[in-house]
Amino acid sequence: MGALSGAEVPGMVIFAMLGDRLRSAAIRVGPV
């Protein structure tokens, strides 16, 4: 688990950042 978490955490952070960008972009465009 320790070795996996080291690679998983950065990926989750990047995924969260991308999701936040997509969410803000969707809010800007508005409901489709």
Give residues with Cβ within 8 angstroms of 14, minimum separation 6.
none
Chain mean position to CA 23: 10
DSSP code of residue 30: -
> Which amino acid is present at 12?
M
Identify each DSSP E strand in 1-32 by its residue range.
none
- Per-residue pLDDT, 1: 46
- Per-residue pLDDT, 31: 64
Q: What is the dihedral of CA 10, 15, 18, 20, to 10 degrees?
A: -100
- Per-residue pLDDT, 25: 87
> Which pTM value belongs to this model?
0.48
* Residues 1-31 pLDDT 10s: 455 556 677 888 888 999 899 888 888 876 6
DSSP code of residue 32: -
